[in-house]
Amino acid sequence: MVEQPYPDAESQWAAVVNRDAAADGQFFYAVKSTGVYCRPACPARRPNRANVVFFTSPDLAEGAGFRPCLRCRPKDVSAQQRLVTQVQHLLDTIEPAPGLAALGEAVGMSPQHLQRLFKRATGLSPREYAAGRRAERLKVGLRQGACVTTALYDAGYGSVRALYDQAHAHLGMSPGAYKRGGRGVAIRYTFGDTGLGRMLLAATPRGVCALRFGDPEALLAELRAEFPQATLTEEPHALAESVAAVCAYLQGEGGQSALDLPLDVTATGFQQKVWNALRTIPRGETRSYKDVAELIGEPRAVRAVARACAANPVALVVPCHRVVRAGGEPGGYRWGVERKRRLLEQEKRG
């Protein structure tokens, strides 16, 4: 049987902590101290974990003596959210994963509309969601002791090549090229003036590989040290559109929660989990390092989460500035604590 998105209390609690809208309708949580039950994305303040119990339906929650939250109205899960949940179920249970056309036909919606709706609700396209679930199944199989070949076929990969092709697509630049200092990689870069000071933006033909703030000379020296065997060329005109997107994002235009630029970065599996989790934090909100560790299912990896945040090469695209210390203090930031404070204050103002 295919693993479900929220199979246990740990994953359900992580969805509640992150206000995961994709979990609405899949389960409900109740708070013993208040006698109220809610949907996972309820905007109310997160309760103490010790007071929380989970139910698969409103009827079960009410049967246990809880009443529905007047703020999130858990019984009124929207038709669109039910459709998203239906699509997730299809992607979780059918191999190979259905394409957009098949999914649209199954739920009675055009592929284009379905793509937009699903991405708005989950932050991923159906294809990206299916690839992520397949990767999760592979990791479970390997942790349980299965050999690589058995685990990859059980997870839904059609071949060893399919596994490596997907890993390359997720991580961008191949690990080999990265280890050789970017040998054979053409990197264009430019500088820009923003509300947070001078910025360096660099990109390969596949996407942005560096977005950093600080002294231009120091930033360029850092880029050259990171990719000593790459071909680096300053090309302001070629990257003008990306620079404009960063500036518009910083000014709050479009109401984007995360800066949406194509990426070409290399990450360990753990870093990828952390960086993906950071992109789900809404603009104007923060999470503690512990919150992020719990969200990715590694509650003891708080320090490792902090290291992954510090290693982030693409500011704003991966919003590591939204991770703070447990007491609310900003904590460290690769591009300066004061810049982090300004950025957080700016986002809270909208």
For the annotated catalytic residues, the residue numbers are 38, 320
Euclidean distance between the first and the last CA atom of the chain, given in angstroms as a whole number: 44
Is 198 strand, coil or helix?
Answer: strand
DSSP H or E stretch at residue 345:
helix 337-348
CB atoms closer than 10 angstroms to residue 229 = 11
Beta strands per DSSP E along the chain: 28-31, 36-38, 52-55, 67-68, 186-194, 197-204, 207-213, 231-234, 287-288, 323-324
Instruction: Please tell me the distance from the alpha carbon of residue 338 to that of residue 37, in angstroms, as a whole number.
Output: 40
Who's near 79: CB < 8 A, 6+ residues apart?
none
CB atoms within 10 A of CB 69: 21
Residue 6: phi, psi to the nearest 5?
Answer: -130, 70
C-alpha angle 130/135/136, rounded to 5°? 95
Which of 257, 267, 79 is closest to 170 using CA atoms?
Answer: 267
